[in-house]
Amino acid sequence: MAWSKFLIYLLVMAGVTYLIRMIPLAAIRGKVRSVFLQSFLYYVPYAVLGAMTFPAVFSATGSFPTALAGTIAALVLGWMEKSLLTVAAVSCVVAFLTGLVF
């Protein structure tokens, strides 16, 4: 891709992403006192990751059977509290092996 075009896209993309992350972290110095807000912020990471994973995970490999097999593997290993790397790697391997069959 031509550099002039690429750099403008990159600037917009990285600029917006950074500002979203930076502004709340730099601006908010005090402690949130509201129990509702504290609880809300406590739940946010789990809700975000849940919504990001499902249903997107089922189309992550471009084939439903392989994605489903990999997801089941990840759920089983995650339930067993295996490390992030183990769960991620095994789910990829299971998806790949399933792809050899389907």
Partner 1 sequence: MFADYKRGLKHGIPIALGYLSVSFAFGIQATSLGLSALQAVMISFFNVTSAGQLAGLQLMAAGAPLIEMALTQLTINLRYALMSLSLSQKLDKTMTLPHRLLVSFCNTDEVFVVASQQPGRVGKAYLYGLTNGPFLGWVGGTLLGALAGGVLPAAVTEALGLAIYGMFIAIILPPFRRSKEVRAVILIAVAMSCLFALVPLFSFISDGFRIIVCAVAASALGAWLMPQPVKDEEEEVLA
In the complex, minimum distance from the CB of residue 23 to partner 1, in angstroms, rounded to a whole number:
7
Residue burial 25-40, b: 16+ Cβ < 10 Å; e: rest: eeeeeeeeeeeeeeee
Determine which residue in the list 4, 64, 100, 102 makes contact with partner 1, applying CB under 8 A: 100
> Is residue 101 a contact residue for partner 1 (CB under 8 A)?
no
Q: Does 4 bind partner 1 (CB under 8 A)?
A: no
Q: Which of 4, 85, 101, 102 binds partner 1 (CB under 8 A)?
A: 85
Q: Which of 4, 64, 65, 82 binds partner 1 (CB under 8 A)?
A: 82
Size of the site for partner 1 (CB under 8 A): 76
81 binds partner 1 (CB under 8 A): yes
Q: Does 23 bind partner 1 (CB under 8 A)?
A: yes
* CA 20 to each of CA 7, 34, 55, 70, 102: distance values in angstroms, whole numbers, following the listed order: 20, 23, 25, 32, 42
Contact of 34 with 25, CB cutoff 8 Å: no
Site for partner 1 in 24-63 (CB under 8 A): 24-26, 28-29, 31-32, 35-57, 60-63
